[in-house]
Amino acid sequence: MKPIYLLLLLLIIGLSACSKDDEQDGDLQTLQGTIVWTGPIATDGCGFILYNSDGSERHSPTNDSNIPDSYKTGDNIPVTVKMINYKKPVLPCININSFNQVKIIEIKRR
């Protein structure tokens, strides 16, 4: 087999193995709730935790680094969030309970 055909075959196989885009793996939702900074995960914090309005659901953003530092106060900050809800349980920190995995698209203080 000529090297160019082998390379083309490997490229096709490699591209077909790629996962779908993030936005196709979850549901786009708008949530009103609160966000709190608990500290960096590297120092036993949980990063940002997003709660729904009644506090019954906890979400862990996959893109903490995209949230402005002005939210890192340690206080419960009322927010409206546009997010992709992956509906997957994750353990972002040392915690007995799991959090729901989300990706924040837009965040605004209320």
For the chain, what is the radius of gyration of the CA atoms? 19
For the CA atoms of 18, 20, 26, 31, the dihedral, rounded to the nearest 10 degrees, stands at 100
The pLDDT mean for the chain works out to: 83
Region of poorest pLDDT, from 16-20, 22-26, 32-36, 46-50 = 16-20
Mean pLDDT of the region 56-67: 92
Question: Could you tell me where the DSSP H helices lie in 1-110?
Answer: 3-16, 22-25
Among candidates 56, 57, 60, which has minimal Cα distance to 91?
60
pLDDT confidence of residue 21: 47
> Is the CATH code 1.25.40 the one for domain 21-109?
no
pLDDT tens per residue across span 38-61: 999 888 888 999 999 998 899 999
pLDDT confidence of residue 69: 95
pLDDT confidence of residue 77: 97
